C-alpha cells in the first residue's frame, strides 16, 4: 500500500466507516508527531507547528488551506504568532477517517 502522503482523500459519506481502534497504531506510525485527541467524545488528529515569526506561520497556514481545497477536506486551523495548530477530523462521521491521516501526512510534508 502506498504511503499516506502519496494517497488522495476520497469523498466521504455520512455512513463511511471510522478508523477502527486496531487500525490506529499503523496509521499513526506514518504521522508520529500527531496526537489523537478527544473533543466532546469526537476523536481528532492535532499537531502544533512552530515558526520563527508570524509571516512564516501565515505562509504555512496558506499552504495548508491550499492543501485542504485540493483534497476537499478541511481542518480547524489556529494561527498565532510563530505557531499554527492544525486539527483534522471528518465532520460527516464525527470522528477519524483515513482521509484525516492522509491530510495530516500531507500537512507534515508542507513543513519540510
Collapsed DSSP state (helix, strand, coil) of residue 21: coil
CATH of domain 18-110: 3.30.1360.20
List pLDDT tens digits, range 41-83: 999 999 999 999 999 999 999 999 999 999 999 999 999 999 9
pTM of the model: 0.93
Q: Is the dihedral of CA 47, 98, 20, 88 positive or negative?
A: positive
Residue 7: pLDDT band with limits 50, 70, 90: confident
For Cα atoms 20, 24, 26, give the angle at the middle one, nearest 5 degrees. 125
* Separation of alpha carbons 34 and 48, rounded Å: 8
Asked if 99 and 71 touch (Cβ cutoff 8 Å), the reply is: yes
Amino acid at each position: 500500500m502506498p504511503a499516506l502522503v502519496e494517497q488522495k482523500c476520497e469523498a466521504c459519506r455520512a455512513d463511511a466507516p471510522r478508523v477502527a481502534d486496531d487500525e490506529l497504531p499503523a496509521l499513526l506510525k506514518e504521522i508520529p508527531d500527531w496526537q489523537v485527541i478527544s473533543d466532546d467524545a469526537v476523536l481528532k488528529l492535532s499537531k502544533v507547528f512552530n515558526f520563527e515569526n508570524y509571516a512564516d506561520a501565515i505562509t504555512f497556514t496558506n499552504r495548508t488551506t491550499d492543501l485542504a481545497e485540493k483534497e476537499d477536506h478541511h481542518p480547524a486551523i489556529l494561527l498565532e504568532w510563530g505557531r499554527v495548530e492544525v486539527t483534522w477530523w471528518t465532520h460527516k462521521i464525527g470522528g477519524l477517517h483515513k482521509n484525516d491521516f492522509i491530510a495530516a501526512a500531507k500537512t507534515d510534508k508542507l513543513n519540510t
